[in-house]
Amino acid sequence: MVEDRAGEILSRAKAALPVRRGPEGEWNSLALPMSICNILVKSILKKCGEEAIALAGQLQWLNDQYHYNSIH
């Protein structure tokens, strides 16, 4: 899931789910959409086996890169 359509993570992704938080000044959480995506990913991993687990590792790497870049 991405909010920034021009972001680096989106440019590397094979698939993405763009979401909007809503108007500026309003507090809108991405917790629910992220939770739903996590459930979907876990369900797919269980059905697809080893290949899916390898792809999940790549997703974790992207997440780690995003986290590292956001704090540096």
On the question of pLDDT at 2 being above 60, the answer is no
Structural tokens at position 28: 């809108």
Q: Which tens digit of pLDDT belongs to each residue from 53-72?
A: 788 888 888 888 888 888 87
Provide the percentage of residues in the chain whose pLDDT is more than 70.
76
- Total-model pTM: 0.41
- Listed in sequence order, the residues at least 6 apart from 3 whose beta carbon sits closer than 8 Å to its beta carbon are 18, 19, 20, 21, 30
- Using alpha carbons only, give the angle 36, 21, 19 rounded to the nearest 5 degrees: 55
Mean pLDDT rounded to a whole number for the chain: 77
